[in-house]
Amino acid sequence: METWGCRYQFRIALLGEAAVGKTSLLRRYVAGAPGLETESEPEPTVGVEFYSRALQLTAGPRVKLQLWDTAGQERFRCITRSFYRNVVGVLLVFDVTNRKSFEHIPDWHQEVMSTQGPNKVIFLLVGHKSDLQSTRCVSTQEEEELAASLGMAFVETSAKNNCNVALAFDVLTTGIQQALQQGDIKLEEDWGGVRLIHRAQIPRSCSRKQHPGSCQC
């Protein structure tokens, strides 16, 4: 996706238990509806993988989203924890058919909060695999109550049906933009959560060599 004209870079992480669908959710968002294979589950993420996408904020600037797909397995937790301090947004993802993944959301939230500095981190609770209604074991009311108790919004999504995938990222990034405007998030040189992108740093002569979908802003 073309990313000329981006003003900011927002660094966002997806956190949650293994196999809740974080990778599928990210691939659906980055690739869009056409051409995405959803028949087979992706291989488990090892450590952290990176994706990016440009987004025009409603009544705001164009931004580059740097999206971190993190491993949910405990043996990779020491790797993923090292990234927490440099994120401005977090999607806390659980599987609506996996009760355990829902019950562990407060633990993921606390892990991030325990590493944060003065800047605010924007969270969104995401109930994934909403297409599997016949086997769901977490109610919408429970999701609403948990989100309220943690001070965040929530969205139900399905990568398979492409349901509310873009909405989830739109809600999160809008929250980040509002926090920037209100001064709850400030640009700091030693913090990677939000970066101001300077166009002068991008040599125009190299733009044709960029891989499709990479940031050129």
Q: 108: domain CATH number?
A: 3.40.50.300
- The sign of the torsion formed by the CA atoms of 155, 125, 128, 83 equals positive
Alpha carbon of 206 to those of 26, 64, 185: distances in Å? Answer: 28, 19, 33
Considering the domain boundaries, does residue 204 fall inside one? no
Considering the domain boundaries, does residue 17 fall inside one? yes
Domain range spanning residue 89?
A: 9-197
Contact 94, 107 (CB under 8 A): no
Total domains in the chain come to: 1
The model's confidence at residue 2, banded by pLDDT at 50, 70 and 90, is low
Structure confidence by residue, pLDDT tens digits, 67-89: 998 764 554 455 556 788 899 99
Structure confidence by residue, pLDDT tens digits, 120-153: 999 999 999 999 999 999 999 999 999 999 999 9
pLDDT of residue 47: 53
Both tokens of residue 73?
């397995």
Considering the domain boundaries, does residue 106 fall inside one? yes
Considering the domain boundaries, does residue 211 fall inside one? no
CA 51 from chain center: how many Å?
10
Residue ranges of E strands in the chain: 8-15, 48-56, 62-70, 89-95, 122-128, 153-156, 194-196
CA 179 from chain center: how many Å?
16
